[in-house]
Structure 1
Amino acid sequence: MIVSTHAIVISKLRYRDHDLIVKCYTQQYGVLSFLLRGVLKSKKGLAKTAYFQLLTQLQLVIVYNPNRSLHSIKEAKLNHLYSSLHSNVSKSAIVMFLAEVLSSILKEEEENSTLFSYIETTLLWLDTHTECSNFHLLFLLNLTKYLGFYPENTTVDFPFFNLQDGKFQLKPMGPYTISGDNFNLLKQLLDTKFDELSQLKINSKQRQAFLNMMLQYYELHLGDFKKPKSLQVLNQVFG
């Protein structure tokens, strides 16, 4: 079946000598993997690989077979041409990190148009704004809305937050209760929009501590989630 769909590249892997396997999050079918045969063999093919940089937004015409794990692409073109996402060092580090997170957590071959729209629009925001040092913190927090474990905010005035339960509490209960800087920043980010991120004043130590807390939050709620290997690079860039 030949279909057209928007897609966001979340990983790519060299296969054999001249092939690529590219994993995309598609608007219509969720996560799909594609085999690009011979794309590394010729200059013309190499030019096409520029379309498959991490988190690139594409318009694809694909041959879709629900009974196969690898699909093929008949036509690919850019849906949005980024101006800075792959050329700015800070943004490139965020892209590498978030692509690894998304590749780890997005597994289903099913449509989720609201999640797709969230990823699509926030990447466009990142591409067009200069202040990005805290983007990934808010991105990860808001992403939990679509994954089913966004912090329950009916008791947001309580002085502790339990990572395992995803709830604010009156007193600490269990080993995954937080307070202090991470708690304060969590409450602040719950009320922050992307356009307000430039007003967020935290240092690199606070940023890394909160990011580690968020990754632990993901680990507690997604059984097979592991800390991204690109975390070290991200911390070096924003350290």
Structure 2
Amino acid sequence: MTHKTKGIVLRTIKYGETSLVVTLFTELFGIQTYMVNGVRTSKKSGGKANYFQPAAILDLVVYHNELKTMQRIKEVRWAFIYTNIFSHVIKNSITLYMVELLHKCLKQPESNTDLFLFFEDALLQLDIADKTVTANFTLYISLHLAHFFGFRINDDYSETQNILDLQEGSFVSQRPTHPYFIEDEPAHLTSQLLKVMQPQELENFKLNQDIRRRLLLCYQDYYALHIQDFGKMKTLVTLHEVLS
């Protein structure tokens, strides 16, 4: 049986001489893996391999069998063509970070329409974002993506509760006995960033690269504490280099 669904490309691996194994976050079925045959030949494929770039948003007709771990795609076309994300070095690096973060969090192939719509909109907003919004985008996505996986940080910051306990995901009044906490300016900034509901509001945050770097490393620790086998973000090193 075939189904129409949107999909966001998370990862593409070359297979054999002409094929790809593509991991997609689909609106209908959640994370899925697809075998795409014959798309890397120069003549017959018509450049179809270009569809499967990380973060590409696609309209798909797919074959779906819940008993199989590898699905197939019948038809594919662009759902949206970016203006900047594939060509702008900084935006592309941020996009790859976003895609890796989402991929690390998606453990089961189950539908999550709200998450799909949030992530799709975030990509569209990044594509048109100005310089300041772009620079702060990774902070926004890191904090707000956690909500969809059940461990969003509680924004209960106050003058007395001004230390963020990353294990508990809330602000506390005393330093925890473990090393996973944020205090001082980074804690206050995290509280302010948690209040951001739309990416355009990031325009109000005039941050330097050092504080962004420190926050992203802390947020990586936060995910590692709450997502099993999360590990380290491979794209974070490249992102720091591009943004420096």
Give the structure-1-normalised TM-score. Answer: 0.96
* 1:194 paired residue number: 199
Q: 1:180 aligns with which of 184, 187, 190?
A: 184
For 1:30-109, what aligned pairs fall within 5 Å after superposition?
Answer: 30-45=30-45, 47-109=47-109
Q: 1:136 aligns with which of 135, 138, 161?
A: 138
Instruction: Give distance in 2, aligned partners of 1:17 and 1:125.
Output: 36
Which residue is 1:119 aligned to? 119
Aligned residue-pair number? 238
- Whether the aligned pair in 2 keeps the contact of 1:182 and 1:213 (CA below 8 Å) is no
| TM superposition outliers: structure 1 runs of 4+ over 6 Å | none
How far apart in 2 are the matches of 1:51 and 1:17? 18
Q: Name the SS for the 2:214 alignment partner.
A: helix
Question: 1:158-181: CA deviations, max 9, x gaps?
Answer: 111100010111111222222023
User: What's the offset of the Cα at 1:71?
Assistant: 0.8
What is the Cα deviation at residue 156 of structure 1? 2.1
1:116-169 Cα offsets, whole Å, 9 max, x none, are 11001111101111220110110110001101111122x321111100010111
Q: Return the letter of the residue paired with 2:147.
A: K
Per the alignment, residue 20 of structure 1 pairs with 20
SS of the residue corresponding to residue 68 of structure 1 reads: coil
**Tell me, what secondary structure is at the counterpart of 1:134?**
helix
Q: Deviations over 1:188-231 (max 9, x none)?
A: 10122311112211111111000000000000001210212121
Q: Does the 8 A contact of 1:9 with 1:54 survive in 2? A: yes
SS in 2 for 1:23: strand
Shift of 1:44: 4.0
Report the CA distance shift for 1:216/1:39 in structure 2 as closer, same or farther (over 3 A). same
Give the distance between the partners of 2:103 and 2:200, measured in 1 at CA: 26
Q: 2: CA distance between counterparts of 1:46 and 1:33?
A: 22
Question: Which residue of 2 is the match for residue 159 of structure 1?
Answer: 162
Q: TM-score, normalised by structure 2?
A: 0.94
The answer for unaligned runs of 5 or more in structure 1 is none
Unaligned residue ranges in structure 2 (runs of 5+): none
Letter in 1 for 2:94: I
Counterpart of 2:218 (choices 213, 220, 225) is 213
The answer to whether the 8 A contact 2:9-2:24 is kept is yes
